[in-house]
C-alpha cells in the first residue's frame, strides 16, 4: 500500500490524557508509534532562578508548587539541603512528623496517580474511590498548615507548627443535617493523630477495593501487561528512580540506602517488580501505599507518647516563641532579623535527595555565604522518566502512549520547574 | 575513596571531599574520566543522576554593604551590583558569565555518589557531550544549553527544552534579568499578540547580604 506513509501527529498540549501541559509530536505509521518527541516547558516558571533572588525560607512555598501532588516531599528535600549546609540538628519529634507527612504525601500522590491512570485507560470508578481517601488526607494537611495542598509546613530545623490537639469537624449546613454530620465526624472527635490512626486502620481495606477493581481485571491487564517494558540495565542507564526503577526489579530506595530522618528506626519493605512493564509498576505502587500506611502507623504510635520540640531551638535559624518575644530582647532581635533579612548559610555546596513518591527528588544547592541560595538546581524524578518516553513508546500503539504517560506518573510542575 | 584517587589521579585537577567526593576536571579529560568511573568494576558509577550548569560570575558579591548603612543611614540595598537588581542588557554589551558544568553520578552497587565539575573558559562555551556514555544526559544537556548556553559537542539534538519557542537569551545566567527582557501582550491596533519590552518596575525586596559567622 504505497500511497500510505508515516505521518506526524500533534498530541496536546491541552489533551486530558497528557496530565497537564505535555505536547507530543508523534511520528506515526498507521496506529503504531515510530517516534515520540515530547515538547515540554509550557509550565516553566524558573523556580530555580526565583529562588536565587529570595531568602531561604521564602522559597519553601515554591517547592510545594513543583510536584504539586507530592508537596511536602519537595519541601523536605529543600529544608534538608539547608540543614546540611547549616549542620543543623533537628529534634526527633520533628523528624517523626516529617516522615509521617512524607508518607501521607506518598499515599496522596499514589492515589492521584492510580485514579488518573485508571481513568486514562478507561476505568472511571477507581478515580472516585481514590479521591474519597485523598479528601481525608487533605484534611490532615489542612489541620497542620491551614491549606489543603500547598502547605509550606516544613522549616529548616523542624516544622512550622506542632500537631494540633483537635481535629476540625464538619458543621451543620443546608446539605447535611445533624445525623449526617455526626456520621461524618465519627473519627474527628479526638486529636489529629487519632484521626490519622483511624485512617490508617481502614486504609488497607480501601486498597483492597482498588485492587478488586483492577488487579485481576481483564481489561486492565490487557492495557498494562507488556506495555512500556524497561530492562533493569536500561532503567539505570536512563536515570530512572523510584517506582519506575523498582518496577524493573532493582531494589533501590533512598529510605533504605541513604536513610534520612528516622527511616532507620522504622520497619517497612521495598516492593519490586519482575517484568518492568506498566502492570508491575502498578503493583509496586499499590504495595507502596500499604507500606506507607504501615510507616504512618509506627510514626503515629511514637508521636502519641512524645511531647518534644517540633522545631530546633536555635533561634538564629528558627523563630523564637511568641512568649519569649514578649519579655526577651534577644528573641525580639532574632525574630526581626529572621523575618526581614533571613539567615546566612555558610559557604558550601550540597546535593541532598529524598525518596519522593515519583523517585529521587534531589536539591543541589550552592551557597556563597549569603541569605539567599547562590544556585539551586532541582533534580526532578519525572524529568529523566519523560525523556525516556520516546524509547518506551516506540513500536506501541497510539493508545498505549496514554498508558505509558500514566505509568511514568508525569507531573509537569516538577518537570518544567 | 582511595580507589577513586588511584584510578583517576592523573586526570583530575582538584580533589575535595565535603558532602561527597568532588573532582574537578579539564574538559579534554572529561569523557575519559566519566568512562573510567562508569566502567571500573570497583566503582560502577552507572547512573548519571543530574547534570547542571552554574554561573559563578556573582559568587561572593553581596548587594548591601552594611558598613555604610550605619554611618550614613540605611539605603534599601538597591545598588545594581548583582543579578537580582534588574539591569537591562544592552545588545552591544558583551554578556559576562563564568560557567561550570556539574555532574552527579551514583553507584548503586557500592552506594556511593560523586560530583564532577568542569569549568569552562570564557572564550569557549563548548564542552564534550556525554550522551554516548550516559543516555540520561540527553535532556539534561539540552536544559543546560537552553538555560545557560553551554554548547555540548557531539549532542545530536541540541534544541531548547524549557523556554518558549523562539526565546532569545539564556535566562539562568546571573546577568539575565529576573523579569526577562520581553513580555507578550495583545496589541489592539495590530489585532495580534506581540512581544514587547517588559514594563515591570524593578525591585529588590530583600537584598543579598553575606555575613560570616564567627
Name the residue ranges covered by the structural domains of chain A: 7-416
Mean pLDDT of chain A: 89
| pLDDT band at residue A2 using 50, 70 and 90 as cut-offs | low
The alpha-carbon gap from B59 to the nearest alpha carbon of chain A, in Å, equals 6
Residue B205 or B75, more confident:
B205
Average pLDDT (A50-71) is 90
Q: What is the DSSP string of A122-165?
A: T-HHHHHHHHHHHHHHHHHHHHHHS-SS----EETTEESSPPPS
Per this entry, what is the length of chain B? 214
Measured in angstroms, the CA of B12 and the nearest CA of chain A are apart by 19
pLDDT confidence band for B87 (50 / 70 / 90): very low
pLDDT at B80: 47
pLDDT at A40 > cutoff 60: yes
Q: Say which of A236, A341, A352 has its CB closest to residue B46.
A: A236
Question: What pLDDT, on a 0 to 100 scale, did the predictor assign at position A24?
Answer: 87
Other CB atoms closer than 10 Å to residue B2's CB: what's the count?
A: 6
Tell me the longest C-alpha to C-alpha distance in chain A. Answer: 88
Query: Rounded to whole angstroms, what are the CA distances from A352 to B4, B49, B206?
Result: 21, 12, 26
Q: What is the rounded distance in angstroms from the CA atom of residue B77 to the CA atom of residue B59?
A: 17
Q: Establish if B202 touches chain A: CB-CB under 8 angstroms.
A: no
Would you state the cell numbers that stand for residue A215, as one nine-digit string?
488487579
Which CATH code, of 1.10.645.10, 3.40.50.300, 1.10.275.10, 3.90.180.10, is assigned to A7-416? Answer: 1.10.645.10
Give pLDDT, residue B122: 76
pLDDT for B139-156, tens place per residue? 999 999 999 989 998 888
A371-375, B71-75, B80-84, range with the lowest pLDDT: B80-84
Cβ contacts (< 8 Å) between B55 and chain A: which residues? Answer: 375
Q: What digits encode the pLDDT tens for the residues A361-394?
A: 999 999 988 889 999 999 999 999 999 999 998 8
- Answer yes or no: do B206 and A417 touch at CB < 8 A: no
**Average pLDDT score, chain B:** 80
Q: How far apart are CA B1 and CA B114, in angstroms?
A: 10
pLDDT-derived band of residue A315, with 50, 70 and 90 as boundaries?
confident
pLDDT for the residue A111: 93
Residue of B nearest to A346 (CA): B212
A94 reaches B (C-beta below 8 A): no
pLDDT category of residue B4 using cuts at 50, 70 and 90? confident
Predicted confidence at residue A3, as pLDDT, reads: 65
- Name the fold adopted by B1-57+98-165: Beta Polymerase; domain 2 (3.30.460)
Instruction: Give domain limits for chain B.
Output: 1-57+98-165
> How many percent of chain A have pLDDT more than 70?
99
In A, residues 346-365, which contact B (CB 8 Å cutoff)?
A: 346-353, 360, 362, 364
From CA B28, how far away is CA B6, in angstroms rounded? 20
Reported ipTM: 0.86
Share of chain B above pLDDT 70, in %: 83
> Do the bridges between strand B126-128 and strand B151-153 make them parallel or antiparallel, or are there none, so unpaired?
parallel
pLDDT digits (tens, 9 = 90+) for A73-119: 999 999 999 999 999 989 999 999 999 999 999 999 999 999 999 98
Q: Is B17 or A389 the better-scoring residue by pLDDT?
A: A389
A302–chain B Cβ distance below 8 A for any pair: no
pTM: 0.89
Rounded CA separation B109/B133 (Å): 18
Q: Is B25 helix (H, G, I), strand (E, B) or coil?
A: strand
Residue B182 CA to residue B192 CA, distance in Å, equals 16
Amino acid at each position: 500500500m504505497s500511497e500510505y506513509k508515516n505521518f506526524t501527529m500533534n498530541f496536546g498540549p491541552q489533551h486530558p490524557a497528557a496530565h497537564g501541559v505535555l505536547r507530543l509530536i508523534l511520528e506515526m505509521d498507521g496506529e503504531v508509534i515510530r517516534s515520540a518527541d515530547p515538547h515540554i516547558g509550557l509550565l516553566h516558571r524558573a523556580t530555580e532562578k526565583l529562588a536565587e533572588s529570595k531568602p531561604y525560607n521564602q522559597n519553601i512555598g515554591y517547592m510545594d508548587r513543583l510536584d504539586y501532588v507530592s508537596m511536602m516531599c519537595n519541601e523536605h528535600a529543600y529544608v534538608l539541603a539547608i540543614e546540611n549546609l547549616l549542620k543543623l540538628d533537628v529534634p526527633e519529634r520533628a523528624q517523626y512528623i516529617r516522615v509521617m507527612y512524607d508518607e501521607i504525601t506518598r499515599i496522596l500522590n499514589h492515589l492521584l496517580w492510580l485514579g488518573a491512570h485508571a481513568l486514562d485507560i478507561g476505568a472511571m470508578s477507581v478515580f472516585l474511590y481514590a479521591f474519597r481517601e485523598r479528601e481525608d488526607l487533605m484534611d490532615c494537611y489542612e489541620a497542620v498548615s491551614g491549606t489543603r495542598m500547598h502547605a509550606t509546613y516544613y522549616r529548616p530545623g523542624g516544622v512550622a507548627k506542632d500537631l494540633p490537639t483537635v481535629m476540625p469537624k464538619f458543621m451543620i449546613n443546608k446539605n447535611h443535617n445533624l445525623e449526617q454530620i455526626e456520621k461524618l465526624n465519627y473519627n474527628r472527635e479526638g486529636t489529629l493523630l487519632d484521626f490519622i490512626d483511624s485512617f490508617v486502620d481502614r486504609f488497607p481495606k480501601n486498597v483492597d477495593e482498588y485492587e478488586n477493581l483492577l488487579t485481576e481485571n481483564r481489561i486492565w491487564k490487557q492495557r498494562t501487561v507488556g506495555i512500556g517494558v524497561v530492562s533493569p540495565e536500561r532503567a539505570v542507564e536512563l536515570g530512572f528512580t523510584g517506582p519506575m526503577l523498582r518496577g524493573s526489579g532493582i531494589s533501590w530506595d533512598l529510605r533504605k540506602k541513604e536513610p534520612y530522618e528516622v527511616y532507620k528506626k522504622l520497619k517497612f519493605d521495598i516492593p519490586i517488580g519482575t517484568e518492568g512493564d506498566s502492570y508491575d509498576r502498578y503493583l509496586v505502587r499499590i504495595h507502596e501505599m500499604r507500606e506507607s500506611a504501615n510507616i504512618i502507623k509506627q510514626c503515629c504510635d511514637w508521636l502519641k507518647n512524645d511531647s518534644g520540640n517540633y522545631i530546633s531551638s536555635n533561634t538564629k535559624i528558627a523563630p523564637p516563641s511568641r512568649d519569649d518575644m514578649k519579655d526577651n530582647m534577644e528573641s525580639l532581635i532574632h525574630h526581626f532579623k529572621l523575618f526581614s533579612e533571613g539567615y546566612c548559610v555558610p559557604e558550601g555546596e550540597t546535593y541532598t535527595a529524598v525518596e519522593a513518591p515519583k523517585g529521587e527528588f534531589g536539591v543541589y544547592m550552592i551557597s556563597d555565604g549569603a541569605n539567599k541560595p547562590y544556585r539551586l538546581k532541582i533534580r526532578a524524578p519525572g524529568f529523566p522518566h519523560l525523556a525516556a518516553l520516546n524509547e518506551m513508546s516506540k513500536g506501541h500503539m497510539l493508545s498505549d502512549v496514554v498508558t505509558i504517560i500514566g505509568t511514568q506518573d508525569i507531573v509537569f510542575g516538577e518537570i518544567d520547574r | 575513596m582511595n580507589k577513586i584517587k588511584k584510578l583517576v589521579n592523573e586526570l583530575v585537577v582538584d580533589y575535595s571531599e565535603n558532602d561527597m567526593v568532588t573532582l574537578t576536571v579539564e574538559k579534554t579529560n572529561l569523557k575519559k574520566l566519566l568512562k573510567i568511573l562508569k566502567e571500573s568494576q570497583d566503582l560502577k558509577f552507572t547512573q548519571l543522576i543530574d547534570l547542571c550548569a552554574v554561573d559563578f560570575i556573582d559568587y561572593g558579591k553581596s548587594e548591601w554593604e552594611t558598613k555604610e548603612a550605619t554611618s550614613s543611614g540605611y539605603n534599601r540595598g538597591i545598588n545594581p551590583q548583582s543579578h537580582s537588581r534588574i539591569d537591562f542588557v544592552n545588545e552591544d554589551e558583551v554578556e559576562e558569565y563564568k560557567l561550570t558544568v556539574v555532574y552527579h553520578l551514583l553507584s548503586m552497587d557500592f552506594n556511593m555518589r560523586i560530583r564532577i565539575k568542569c569549568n569552562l573558559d570564557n572564550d569557549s562555551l563548548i564542552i564534550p557531550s556525554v550522551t554516548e556514555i550516559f543516555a540520561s544526559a540527553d535532556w539534561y544537556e539540552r536544559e543546560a544549553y537552553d538555560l545557560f548556553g553551554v554548547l555540548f559537542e557531539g549532542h545530536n539534538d541540541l534544541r531548547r527544552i524549557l523556554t518558549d519557542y523562539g526565546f532569545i537569551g539564556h535566562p539562568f545566567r546571573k546577568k539575565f534579568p529576573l523579569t526577562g527582557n520581553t513580555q507578550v501582550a495583545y496589541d489592539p491596533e495590530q489585532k495580534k499578540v506581540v512581544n514587547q519590552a517588559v514594563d515591570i518596575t524593578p525591585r529588590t525586596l530583600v537584598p543579598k547580604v553575606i555575613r560570616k559567622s564567627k
